[in-house]
Every structure is written in structure tokens, then in C-alpha cells.
Chains A and B, each alone.
Chain A
Amino acid sequence: MLDDFFVRAILAGVGLALTTGPLGCFIIWRRMAYFGDTIASALLGVALSLLFELNLTLAVFVVAAVVSILLLFLQKRQALSADALLGILSHATLAIGLVMVAFMTWVRIDLIAFLFGDILAVSTTDIALIWGGGIFVLAAIAWLWRPLLAATVNPELAEAEGLQPERARLFFMLLMAVVIAIAMKIVGIMLITSLLIIPAATARRFSSTPELMAVLASLIGAVAVVGGLFGSLTYDTPSGPSIVVAALILFILSLLPAWRGRRDLQGQGS
């Protein structure tokens, strides 16, 4: 069964979507919509891996982790808002990466591949990496859930009542770096970012608790992956963008007034 490239693509995409669901919820709740872009623009990592002949996944993780820690440090100084800082870091790392690549005249990088990836080309090893990493990330999120959620509502409240919001936040950033390092080569930056944000935003309409929203975001992401891949097969469209379009369609469907009525009923009656 795994011999079929289409089945492998579905397995890889669903594994990624299940992982990004809960992470994406925190990104939305914390109003860090640029976060995916920032860490994902670890093209710098790609350049470094080529320059020093490092493992690509490891290099991307290191760059993403450094960017996360830098972000935490800068936010602590409260000079600029999170979104402004993310914008700066995102474009700075992208530009530095591109400049470095330009110096390496012996290297030719297919930028499109890193932006959009090729989910149809995933290997069995890639699938193992995505599922192994995904299970690790989800377990860590479950372990960090309470301090992360409390700190999202109010960091000082979390701190005063004995949780460690700073530590939870650092771990969260590192988990994001893990997800991006694993998935970037396989599915591309655009698909990671989309699978972080769009399913979580879609799930909001149907959720009455944060936990339900996290689970729904994972499931909605998985549905978008399967729907997008079948769409790409049927209409012969590029696979990555098709998944994003499928996620978008689900999001638009969630905005329809019929659901709104049901959500209000849930809010009052449940």
C-alpha cells in the first residue's frame, strides 16, 4: 500500500495536519499569525546546511530555535509588538538566507521546492519522521497544556499561581521549530503555515472549549489534506496549493450563517 505515492502523500499530510492543529490554536489565541512564516523562513537554515554540509533538518531546527529564543528575548524587552518583531525576524532571516545562497555560486537552490514542497514525493522514511515527530510534539503539548493555556489568558496570573509560563513558552517555540524542521523539506513552507492557521480558525466556530478546538483543528486539517489531494488527483492541480484551497473552502463553509446559529445555541444551552 505504501508503494503508492498517493497513499504516502495522504499519510504524510494527515500526520502533519494532526500535529499542526493544536499548535495552530495557540498561534491564533496568542495573535501570532506571522509565527509560522517567521520560523519557516528558515531558508537561512537551508543555506547554512549547504555551506557547512550539515543535515538539512538539523540546520533548519537550529535556525528556527535561535529565532524563537531571539523573539522571546526581544519580546521581554517590550520594545515592539510580537507581530512587528515577527515581521522583522521573518524577512531578515529570509533575506540573509538568500544573500548567503547568492555567495555560494556552486549551489543552485530550487526556491519553489522549499516554498511549496512536493508532498507527492515523500518517502517512507519521511512518513516515519512526520509521525514520530508528530507524536512527540503532541505528547509535549499535552504535557504543557495547562501552563500554556493559562499563560495565553494571562501570563502574570499563571506565574502568580505557580505555573511556569516562561518555560512553557520556550518549549512551545522549540516544538514549533521541530515541526518546521521536519516538515519543511517534505511539504514546504506554505503548506505548514496554512495547516497551522486555517484549520484552527475554522475550528473556532464549532468549539466551546479550548481542548475541543485543538482536536477539531487537527481533524479539519486532516480532512483538508485528504480533500485537497483527491482534488489534485481529479483536476490535475498542484497538490500543496490544492490542500490549502481545500482548507480555505472548509473555512468559508464554517462562516455560513447556518453554523453561526448552531454555535450560539451551543454557547447558551450546553
Chain B
Amino acid sequence: MLSPANTPAGMKAEPLVSLENVGIRRGGRWLVRGVDFSVSRGEIVTLIGPNGSGKSTSAKAAIGVLKPDEGRVTRIASLKVGYVPQKLAVDWTLPLSVRRLMTLTGPLPEADITAALEASGMAHMLDAQVQHLSGGEFQRALMARAIARKPDLLVLDEPVQGVDFAGEIALYELIKSIRNTTGCGILLISHDLHVVMAETDTVICLNGHVCCRGTPQAVSQSPEYVRLFGSRAAPTLAVYSHHHDHTHLPDGRVLHEDGSVTDHCHPEDGHHHDHGHAHSHAHAEAHAHAQADGDHHHGHAHAEAHAHTHTHSQSGAQSTASSGEDRHA
């Protein structure tokens, strides 16, 4: 179920970037700990998780903006990154057109600029000031800027924020075509716990650590999913959802589903693995996206794809689960 242009398994020898048991600490608190994942050429990895679960932090560690306090981040030599940050506000005092935005971090051939803007549907806005763009247009311009660089690794932090539902599908289509035409690796952070791209090779759910990982294809292509939502919805949106069995309290401790409280949720603590954690991640629930009103939480049906299981790592160190191992036919 790989996309046609995806690289064969044999070429995945060296990941573009890989994180091993990475932890980042700020102000005496672990933002994330025990994070393991890798992104290879032609692979789309999606990070999901609730607010403050360390999605952006993990992505920043992957591209070297944050230095890990423990664990290791390995990048291939001279990795070219295209980055779309989560928050980017251009001050009104800075006159910046879309054209100028494109060459912000390095000079580019005119043809590449035009091609990237056309791919993202922003060619007509070349001379517009970025402050005059709508949320969706600005996201598209930022995406165009990142892909015009022809990066090895494209990191998109919540690229669909401020974009309506139709625009969201269009952006996912764009991301898919970027991967298929350029073969770059893509690390995608989704603000929505319930919706990920169907083309995602690996979904990694974070909640201060890696909760679970798996492939959405197994879900979206399961007979139940296709029957419920039709073959048109399946290729664009897939759903990968579960509930968290523990909550992070404001004081840093962790409240588990059984009511107990511990200091950490680090995989090595192991506490929550004994209580329903394995259970709740053992199935991926497929939700139909409520297309009419765009509401992710109401009006969707459930299709539990029990056939799909995860290689849920008990300890960050021993987790070597790559996307290949996680993939189920």
C-alpha cells in the first residue's frame, strides 16, 4: 500500500534523521522523554498528541533547533531541511512580499520559486504582502517556501491550522504530491488527534513520551472503513484515534486511568503499561470525518479495526520499530 513513487524498502538503509531515546528538559521538567522515531526518504511520519505533549519539541529536536538533554539525534550529513514552524507572525513593520518570503533563508532559481508557488496554488499572490494574506494562504505560502528549497526533509508543524475543511484536504493533497514528486521525507505534526493523512507511513502518538505508533493505512483500507465512508474519503483522510489512559497533572505528576498517581509517565516507569495501556492501543478506531460541518467530534461513526496491532515499545531504548515493521497488509 505504498504510494507508487515511494522508495523501495531496500533503499531505506539510512534514515534522514533518527531519534533514540531523546529527552528534553526545561525548567526542571521533562517536556518529552524516551522519544524514538526516524524519518527516511519518501516516508511521511505524523506526530499526534494532545496540547503540550511534546510534538513540536520532538520535531525541533529532530532538526537540531533544540539540543536533547538525553538520548541521541542522528542526521545524515548536510541534511537540507524545509521547515514550516507552528507560529510565525510577521511584524507589520517588516515589508515582506510572497516573492521575498520565498528566498528568506537562501537564494533560489526563479523557476523553482514559480514551480513551488504553482504547486501550492499561490502563483497569483507572488507580489502580495504576507500581512495581507489569509490564514490558509499564508500557510500555503510558507509551504511553498519550504518546498522551493528542494529539501531532503520537510518538517510541517501544524500546517493546516487556520485552514477550513476544504483547504485542509487540499493541503494534505499537496503534501502527498510533494512526497510523491520529490521523494523527500516528511515529518508532519497534526493538531488534530483524530485526523491524519492516509499517506502517513507511521503515526506516532506522543503524550510526554511515545504512547504508541502504527500505520493509518491498515485502518483506512480496512473493509469496514471503506464501506462506511466510501472510497473517496479513504485516500485523503484516515483516522487514528485512541483515548489516553493517563493525564499529566499541572504539578508534573501523572494521573492514571485506575486513579493512581505517579511522578512520571516515562516508559521505563512502566506503571501504565500494566493497566489498560496495551488494551487501549490494541485497536485503532476509524472515525468517519463529519464532512458536512467539519466537526471532528460529532456525527462520526466508528469502525474498530481490531486486525491492526502496534509494536508498542515498552522502553524507548529497545524500540527499533521502523515504519516497515509497523506496516500491516
| Chain A residues engaging chain B, CB cutoff 8 angstroms | 28-29, 31, 146, 149-150, 152-154, 156-163, 201, 204, 207-210, 212-213, 267-270
Contact = CB atoms under 8 A, between A and B. Distances in A.
Given A154-B85, A209-B97, A270 B127 contact: yes
A157 B105 contact: yes
A33 B132 CA distance: 25
Given A146-B105, A267-B129, A208 B95 contact: yes
Nearest to B101: A153
B64 A159 contact: yes
Given A146-B106, A153-B90, A210 B96 contact: yes
Contacts of A268: 127-128
B65 A153 contact: no
A154 B128 contact: no
Contacts of B206: none
Nearest to B157: A156
Given A29-B94, A157-B88, A201-B93, 11 more contacts: A31-B91, A149-B104, A157-B104, A160-B60, A160-B81, A160-B155, A161-B81, A207-B95, A210-B94, A212-B95, A268-B127
B81 A162 contact: yes
Interface string B213-246: 0000000000000000000000000000000000
Interface in B77-132: 80-83, 85, 88, 90-91, 93-97, 100-101, 104-106, 127-129, 132
Nearest to B84: A157
Give the interface size class of chain B: 20 to 34
A159 B82 contact: no
B149 interface: yes
A213 B95 contact: yes
Contacts of A267: 128-129, 132
Contacts of A31: 91
28 contacts: A29-B93, A29-B94, A152-B91, A152-B94, A153-B88, A153-B101, A154-B85, A156-B60, A156-B65, A156-B85, A157-B104, A159-B65, A160-B60, A160-B63, A160-B85, A161-B83, A161-B106, A161-B149, A162-B80, A162-B106, A204-B95, A208-B95, A209-B95, A209-B97, A210-B96, A210-B100, A212-B95, A213-B95
B132 to A, nearest CB: 7
Nearest to B132: A267
B105 A163 contact: yes
A28 B95 CA distance: 12
Given A210-B96, A212-B95, A157 B128 contact: no
Given A156-B65, A209-B100, A161 B105 contact: yes
Contacts of B128: 267-268
Contact of A204 (B81, B90, B93): B93
The 8 A-B pairs with the shortest beta carbon distances in the complex, nearest first, are A160-B83, A161-B105, A207-B95, A160-B63, A29-B94, A150-B105, A156-B65, A28-B93
A218 to B, nearest CB: 15
Nearest to B96: A210
B78 to A, nearest CB: 9
Nearest to B153: A160
A187 B106 CA distance: 38
A264 to B, nearest CB: 10
A29 B102 CA distance: 19
A78 to B, nearest CB: 10
Nearest to B103: A146
Nearest to B100: A209
Contacts of A160: 60, 63-65, 81, 83, 85, 155
A117 to B, nearest CB: 27
Nearest to A267: B129
A220 B149 CA distance: 36
B97 A208 contact: yes
A154 B88 contact: yes
B94 A153 contact: yes
A146 B90 CA distance: 16
Contacts of A213: 95
A76 B64 CA distance: 17
Contacts of A161: 81-83, 105-106, 149
Interface in B38-97: 60, 63-65, 80-83, 85, 88, 90-91, 93-97
Contacts of A212: 95
Contacts of A163: 105
Contacts of A156: 60, 65, 83, 85
A161 B150 CA distance: 12
B73 to A, nearest CB: 13
A124 B286 CA distance: 79
Nearest to B91: A29
Contacts of A207: 95
A212 B96 CA distance: 11
Contacts of B106: 146, 161-162
